[in-house]
Amino acid sequence: MTELPRSLPEFEVRFPDEAACARWLLEKRWPDGFRCPACGQAEAWELGRERLTLQCAACERQVSVTAGTALHGSHLPLRTWFLAAWLVATHKNGMSARQLWRQLGLGSYKSAWLLLRKLRRAMVDPEREPLAGLVEVDETSLPFRAGGEPVRPGRSHDGKLLVAGAVEIKGEGPGRIRLAVIGDCSAVALGAFVAAAIAAGSTVVSDGWPGYKKLKDVKHEPTVVGETPAHLVLPWVHRVFANAKRWALGVYHGLRPKHLQAYLDEFVFRFNRRHNPAAAFDRLLGLGLTLEPATYQMLVCRS
């Protein structure tokens, strides 16, 4: 039913207008049929409003398909949201606000930026399961743009931010990943990252840095002995770091420190759904449904 359109023409057929998008939201929010959020009654009728609204037959509560969701209160058409989510979910490297602005033909850059921030917010699943099993962990530094200038190699006044990464190893290759900004490479910072990202009982493979010596609830296998380069013993976390850096340069011409964690979340979201863009699209709109609507101020002040 919700198979993802594989091309723009397919998107046009699947979501031709506001009504089709509203119907999709209705089925996503109440897959087993509408239930009144106030009284639990299943019987309701549809009101002829601009945006699809149901009225409970028992208590007369009126519920818009977008009420209580990330889309609520937006002046943009539902179809603009859907197209933005589709572009972000299916585009291999994602989109900058500037690209989205042009692609959607929006009136202002600010509305494109805000739309993208709301979609990014939906990328973090608060109930996501921690990584488990065999997990490579390491840390790196990402260059960021100090001012409005793009990052250029060798520029001394560009800053660097520390990032911790973890990659599940599934057989020969990587499973899911996590990336997080850390303040330093101390045992406290790395311990907190591991505790948040990795399930108890897992096995952590590290480069033997002292910061990993006191990990709790996980088995620790320091693997670097003497001069062995870290990328040989931790191949996947190093490949993820390299991809993230290339992505940051390619899509954003370098990251700004203020929103770095949000960018990392986007990279992680994309990586973890790399084999299933349909799930990414569902998540961008479907998961957004469970979040409280975010105001401009909330988005700007966060992180």
User: What is d(CA 237, CA 167) in angstroms, rounded to the nearest whole number?
Assistant: 6
Minimal distance, residue 286 CB to Zn ion, in Å: 24
Helix H segments across the chain? 8-14, 18-29, 78-90, 97-104, 109-121, 187-197, 230-233, 235-252, 260-272, 277-286, 296-301
211, exposed or middle or buried, with CB in 10 Å at 0-12, 13-18, 19+?
Answer: buried
Contacts of 9 (CB under 8 A, 6+ apart): none
Q: Does 42 bind Zn ion (CB under 5 A)?
A: no
Assess 200 for contact with Zn ion (CB under 5 A).
no
**The one segment of 48-56, 118-126, 148-156, 244-252 that binds Zn ion by CB under 5 A:** 48-56
Could you tell me the smallest distance in angstroms from the CB atom of residue 32 to Zn ion?
16
Judged by CB under 5 A, does residue 36 bind Zn ion?
A: yes
If binding is defined by CB under 5 A, does position 54 make contact with Zn ion?
no
CB of 61 to Zn ion, least distance (A): 5
Strand, coil or helix: what is 220?
strand
Three-state DSSP class for residue 5: coil
Decide whether 38 or 242 has the Cβ nearer to Zn ion: 38
* Cβ–Cβ < 8 Å for 185, 170: no
61 near Zn ion, rule: CB under 5 A:
yes
Cβ-proximal residues to 43 (8 Å cutoff; 6+ apart), any chain: 56, 57, 58
| Least Å from the CB of residue 27 to Zn ion | 20
Q: For 93, left (φ over 0), alpha (ψ -120 to 50), or beta? A: alpha
Shortest CB 29 distance to Zn ion, Å: 15
Of the ranges 10-18, 23-31, 60-68, 74-82, which one interacts with Zn ion (CB under 5 A)?
60-68
Contact between 47 and Zn ion per CB under 5 A:
no
Is 35 one of the binding residues for Zn ion (CB under 5 A)? Answer: no
Q: Is 39 in the site for Zn ion (CB under 5 A)?
A: yes
Contacts of 279 (CB under 8 A, 6+ apart): 273
Euclidean distance between CA atoms 69 and 21, whole angstroms: 14
CB of 293 to Zn ion, least distance (A): 21
Give me the residue label for tokens 């409003």: 49
Given the rule CB under 5 A, which of 4-12, 31-39, 67-75, 202-210 is the region that contacts Zn ion? 31-39
Q: Are strands 173-181 and 159-170 parallel, antiparallel or unpaired?
A: antiparallel
56 binds Zn ion (CB under 5 A): yes
Nearer to Zn ion, 39 or 300 (CB): 39
- Tell whether residue 41 is a contact of Zn ion (CB under 5 A): yes
8, 42, 58, 300: which one contacts Zn ion (CB under 5 A)? 58
Q: Binding Zn ion by CB under 5 A: which of 42, 59, 200, 298?
A: 59
Q: Which is nearer to Zn ion, 46 or 149 (CB)?
A: 46
63 lines the binding site for Zn ion (CB under 5 A): no
Which residues here bind Zn ion, judged by CB under 5 A?
A: 36, 38-39, 41, 56, 58-59, 61
